[in-house]
Amino acid sequence: MKEQLEAVRQAALAALANAETGEQLEELRIRFTGKKGELTGLLSRMGKLSPQERPIIGQLANEIRGAIETELKTRKAALEQRELAHRLRRETVDVTLPGKHRQIGRQHPLNIVLDEIKDAFISMGFSIAQGPEVEYDYYNFEALNIPKDHPARDTQDTFYFSPEMLLRSQTSPVQIRVMEQTRPPIRILAPGRVFRIDEVDATHSPIFHQIEGLVVDRGITMAHLKGALELISKKLFGPETQTRIRPDYFPFTEPSAEISITCYKCGGKGCRLCKNEGWIEIGGAGMVNPKVLELCGIDPDIYSGFAFGMGLERLVLGRYGIDDIRLLYENNTKFLEMF
Ligand code: DAH
């Protein structure tokens, strides 16, 4: 029996030394020290031994069980250690590898310039106003002193839904909506999309953007208008930029003016862009027509106001030296990535 026990010890230790996985270890534990294992099997025959032999064999059996259990533990720890080292090696992150390129969106040039203009006017105490793109003929024309058969309607070829409803052809109707709703002092900037029937080419688009400004208070004069325009032109195109206002005609302003700034390409010397004039027109302006004030319930004997409307696209094209308006609408990412 002693020899048989020693044989089990040998077999067990040899097998354990060769075990490569946790499962193999578990199989060996069951095979040698489990309830139906080889060691237990031998011990069940202890009853046949003499009383003298029994304690000696019992002690030996316990010692062997202990040895096998210790070896199981040692082997298990070694295997776990090896597995951990392996995993650490496998899961190492090589921080020197190049990163994944992520494409990040950017602000559209129209919004870059619009935000600058908004910031400049907000810093002068203006707030931002909005009006609907689907507008009544009343706000787009009638209330702006442009009656049904007025020739000024011809210059803005308008998309009509019905005789009363249209796609606004200018942001000026926002002036009326604001003056109907608020009492002076009024200082608003109303940027937005406008619509005119037009073929698309390098300088035209049926959808474009205007920025409308309106100030109504006591004692407002043309000088305030000029000051506001100068500030914004210098901010957008540099401190050398000059602003010019010349007489023009708009039914909703009196007097009316055309706004120009010194050419952003040649600085005023004259070039192809400004057709050798040195000036580039950026919009219209004027003193709010007393008739318009009155219609909105503002007393023209107490209050006066100035208004202006500028084309945003023209400013953006000039600012970045872009020569085709279509680039602003095509959403070509190669183009947009340049800003
Ligand atoms: N709404 C005019 C246009 O689209 C531009 C304009 C001119 C706006 C004079 C104004 C203004 O506010 O006072 O042609």
Question: pTM here?
Answer: 0.72
Query: Of all residues in the chain, what percent carry a pLDDT higher than 70?
Result: 100
Indicate if 71 and 159 belong to the same structural domain: no
- Whether the per-residue pLDDT at 50 is higher than 90: the answer is no
Ligand 1 atom, smallest distance to 194 CA: 4
Regarding the beta carbon of 289 and ligand 1, being less than 6 Å apart is answered no
Q: Ligand 1: which of 252, 260, 296 to mutate, most ligand atoms within 8 Å of CB? A: 252
Indicate if 68 and 204 belong to the same structural domain: no
Residue 44: the pLDDT is 83
- Ligand 1 centroid distance, CA of 41 (Å): 106
Ligand 1 atom, smallest distance to 212 CA: 12
Indicate if 161 and 307 belong to the same structural domain: yes
Please tell me what DSSP assigns to residue 175: H
Question: Is residue 98 in a domain?
Answer: no
Residue-wise pLDDT for 115-132, tens only, equals 999 999 999 999 999 999
Choose from 15-19, 33-37, 252-256 the range with maximum mean pLDDT: 252-256
Q: Domain boundary residue among 61, 90, 119?
A: 90
24 lies in which domain range?
2-90
Cis peptide before 184 (omega within 30 of 0): no
Distance CA 279, CA 281 (A): 7
Question: Is residue 313 in a domain?
Answer: yes
Q: What CATH number corresponds to the domain at position 287? A: 3.30.930.10
Indicate if 20 and 117 belong to the same structural domain: no
Residue-wise pLDDT for 285-328, tens only, equals 999 999 999 999 999 999 999 999 999 999 999 889 999 999 99
Indicate if 185 and 326 belong to the same structural domain: yes
Indicate if 70 and 122 belong to the same structural domain: no
- Whether the per-residue pLDDT at 146 is higher than 80: the answer is yes
Q: Where are the alpha helices (DSSP H) in the chain?
A: 2-18, 22-33, 38-43, 53-90, 109-123, 137-140, 173-181, 222-237, 290-295, 312-320, 333-336
Mean pLDDT, residues 16-42 taken together: 87
Distance CA 170, CA 191 (A): 10
Regarding the beta carbon of 243 and ligand 1, being less than 6 Å apart is answered no
- Ligand 1 centroid distance, CA of 283 (Å): 7
Distance CA 338, CA 107 (A): 10
Query: Of all residues in the chain, what percent carry a pLDDT higher than 90?
Result: 63
Regarding the beta carbon of 140 and ligand 1, being less than 6 Å apart is answered no
Q: Domain boundary residue among 90, 118, 138?
A: 90
Residue 7: the pLDDT is 87
Indicate if 260 and 331 belong to the same structural domain: yes
How many Å separate Cα 68 from the centre of its chain?
66
Q: Are 115 and 176 in contact (CB under 8 A)?
A: no
Split into its structural domains, the chain has a count of: 2
Indicate if 37 and 122 belong to the same structural domain: no
